[in-house]
Amino acid sequence: MDDRGGLTGARVVVRRLTDGTGAAPDLGAMCAATPADVVWLDSALPTGAPDTAHDRARWSVVACTDGPFATRFRHEDRLAHISVSPAAERWFDGTRTEDRPAFVVLADLLDRTPRLDAPVDGCGFALGWVGFLGHELGREVDGPDRTADGHADADLRFVDRAVVVDARGGTWALALVDPAEAAASAANRAWLDAVPVPVPTTAAGSADAATILPSGTATGRVPRAAYETAVEVCRAEIREGNAFQVCLTTAFAVGLEARVGSGTDPHLDEYLRLRAVDPVPFGAYLRLGPLRVASRSPERFLRIEATGRVVAEPIKGTRPRDPDPERDLAVRTGLAASAKDRAENVMIVDLLRNDLLRSARPGSVRVERLCDVETYASVHQLVSTVTAVLPDGTSRAEVVRAAFPPGSMTGAPKPSASAIADRLEGAPRGVYSGAIGYFSADGSVDLSVAIRTLVTVLDDAGAVRTRTFGAGGAVTWSSVAADEADEVEAKTRSVFGGLGIVGRW
């Protein structure tokens, strides 16, 4: 074991579990064996992915929420509910409910979080806060005045136990200790000693298809014709000068057909099946209270390094893969040359430059790549990279707030485009098109855009109440309504295809 010091007496204790010489560990099995809530930030890449994608998919994290220092921040019905374990009260005060905006509370909690050194070289996760920020928190930055339906607008957990995996080799267990809390520290050291060396991933570890019944159908919230009409309304708003681009989305209600299998969390089995067919750099599985979130996102929202460097990597422009290699190459080439898709991407890059300028050092914002094509299992996509540098001491919560919701999911200008989309969609988006990831105790942040995301809400008895999947696309003046609807269908297939779901609208 190795202790990495902090600035407040708290420390991260590190135990190396594997040296990376064998097969990758089965983190799905680790999540299945964890009875408490868990957050799995799951990085992977498809075969043949571009070199530019490899750093994004280097680290995976399984964060356990049942440690002695565990704390929960949930923002629901416009109230902040903070549940603090006794061992963490000297940092976060006691359990309470506050009538304050989510980002204000988050900034306060991050200020109170003990500063910990990065425990594993190259990894930006030093324990800290993990979970999601839902799209409706955009109301705090001039977005539509909505709250999520049936679940929290945000749920973040301060975790003091985690396992991290380097795709280049190596697995480590991390735990928090503090000399002021002897009993809690002893419990975490005991947990660290007891963490089993993870077994390698096997075919069975990727959720045998025989253990899951196909989930049947998913029904669109609106018919395809209604979505195409809404596209035309967006174009009319653009013609009138009310927006340049509108990210118009819809949602599909996924069937509640029964599953088979002996697992304690069939939703995790579902996620394992998804990841087996569609590797992405920002996958995530969240088991948080009544929520089960299975996300196959290829898109980074923001990464903030402990040094203050910021990276945003928006995606705009998507084409479905073709099974024929020659036709697939033609699809990829066509996307790279598409004036319409490149215009979508450039508009969002400009929006992100503006968002980052609000908190970055003057002159530090740079566009490092523009409209590169990246290829995944089911789609080709245009990806750009925008970077900036923060002044020392800049609040990480304020940086995220200034860029929230992700610009690729709003359109531009953000306030007016969001208002148009909200009026046409007529319902909250919830977790979808928000952000998933962590706020590390060393000052690092890494958040994905919650797209390609299946959200399940359970009732008090643990039965499925709702299962929804959101999808959409950017509408510009040059959009063709039928093509925009086709793009929605392509995005649903990227998830539904792995679950035996047929989307109908």
Q: Are the beta carbons of 476 and 420 closer than 8 angstroms?
A: no
What pLDDT is stored for residue 1 in this prediction?
Answer: 53
Helix (H) or strand (E) holding 8: none
**Residue whose tokens read 């075919």:** 203
With H, G, I as helix, E, B as strand and everything else as coil, classify residue 210: helix
- Kindly state the average pLDDT of the residues 426-448: 97
**Percentage with pLDDT > 70 across the chain:** 92
Q: Could you tell me the sign of the dihedral formed by the alpha carbons of 377, 437, 302, 434, in that order? A: positive
pLDDT band at 320 (very low <50, low <70, confident <90, very high): confident
Average pLDDT over residues 17-44: 88
Which CA distances in Å does 375 have to 70, 296, 343? Answer: 39, 14, 19
How far is Cα 165 from Cα 160, in angstroms, rounded to an integer? 17
Q: For tokens 């908190």, name the residue.
A: 359
Structural tokens at position 260:
């088979």
In this structure, are strands 501-504 and 282-288 parallel, antiparallel, or unpaired?
Answer: unpaired
Confidence of residue 212 (pLDDT cuts 50, 70, 90): very low
- The distance between the two most distant Cα atoms of the chain, rounded to a whole number of Å, is 65
Least Cα distance to 247 among 348, 337, 319, 370 occurs for 348
CA distance 128 to 90: 16
Segment 464-487 shows an average pLDDT of 95
Strand-pairing partners, residue 387, are 311, 366
pLDDT, residue 169, reads 87
Is pLDDT of 203 > 50? Answer: no
What pTM, to 2 d.p., does this model score? 0.94
Q: What pLDDT was estimated at residue 257?
A: 60
Given a cut of 50, whether residue 138 has pLDDT beyond it is yes
Q: d(Cα 438, Cα 456) in Å, to the nearest integer?
A: 21
Model confidence at 263, pLDDT cuts 50, 70, 90, reads: low
Contacts of 393 (CB under 8 A, 6+ apart): none
Sign of CA dihedral 120, 121, 127, 131: negative
Per-residue pLDDT at 492 exceeds 80: yes
Q: Are 170 and 151 in contact (CB under 8 A)?
A: no
Tens digits of residue pLDDT in 297-316:
999 999 999 999 999 999 99
Q: Is residue 292 classed as helix, strand or coil in its secondary structure?
A: strand
Nearest to residue 408, comparing CAs of 252, 282, 277?
282
Mean predicted confidence (pLDDT) in 460-489: 94
Q: What are the start-end ranges of the E strands in 422-480?
A: 435-440, 445-449, 453-458, 464-475
Cα 64 from chain centroid (whole Å): 17
SS3 48: coil
Task: Say if residues 434 and 450 touch (Cβ distance below 8 Å).
Answer: yes
pLDDT digits (tens, 9 = 90+) for 85-135: 999 999 999 999 999 999 999 999 999 999 999 889 989 999 999 999 999
Does the structure show a pLDDT above 70 at 211? no
Provide mean pLDDT across the span 375-384.
Answer: 87
Q: Nearest 5 degrees, angle CA 384-CA 386-CA 390?
A: 165
* Burial (0-12, 13-18, 19+ Cβ within 10 Å), 436: buried
Mean pLDDT of the chain: 91
Residue 393, SS3 per DSSP:
coil
The DSSP call for residue 115 is: P
Angle between helices 414-425 and 224-239 (to 10 degrees): 150
Mean of the pLDDT values across residues 197-207?
Answer: 59
- Using CA atoms, how far apart are residues 302 and 7, in angstroms rounded to an integer? 26
Distance CA 110, CA 213 (A): 42
pLDDT in tens, 65-80: 999 999 999 999 999 9
pLDDT for 204 equals 39
- Between CA 58 and CA 6 the distance in angstroms is 25
Q: Return the DSSP state at 25.
A: B
Span 270-297, pLDDT tens digits: 899 999 888 889 999 999 999 999 999 9
For residue 265, the model assigns a pLDDT of 86
DSSP secondary structure code for residue 324 in this structure: S
Q: Is the pLDDT assigned to residue 214 strictly greater than 60? A: no
Average pLDDT over residues 212-231: 87
DSSP 20: S
pLDDT the model gives residue 142 = 84
pLDDT of residue 224: 97
* CA–CA distances in Å: residue 251 to residues 26, 110, 132, 284, 412: 32, 33, 19, 19, 21
Output the pLDDT for position 379: 83
The residue ranking higher by pLDDT, 170 or 20, is 170
Q: What is the pLDDT of residue 266?
A: 87
111 and 105 Cβ atoms separated by less than 8 Å: no
**Of the given ranges (12-26, 117-131, 145-159, 172-186), which has the lowest mean pLDDT?**
12-26
Q: How many residues does the chain have?
A: 505
Residue 78: the pLDDT is 96
Q: What is the CATH number of domain 2-504?
A: 3.60.120.10
Token duo for residue 7: 């600035």
- The region of weakest confidence among 31-45, 129-143, 206-220 is 206-220
pLDDT at 209 over 70: no
* Spatial separation of the C-alpha atoms in residues 287 and 30, rounded to whole Å: 13
Residue 8 is predicted with a pLDDT of 61
What residues are paired with 317 via a beta bridge?
none
More confident residue, 361 or 122: 361
pLDDT of residue 261: 39
Identify any residues that bridge with 96 across adjacent strands, giving them in sequence order: 82
pLDDT value, residue 235: 98
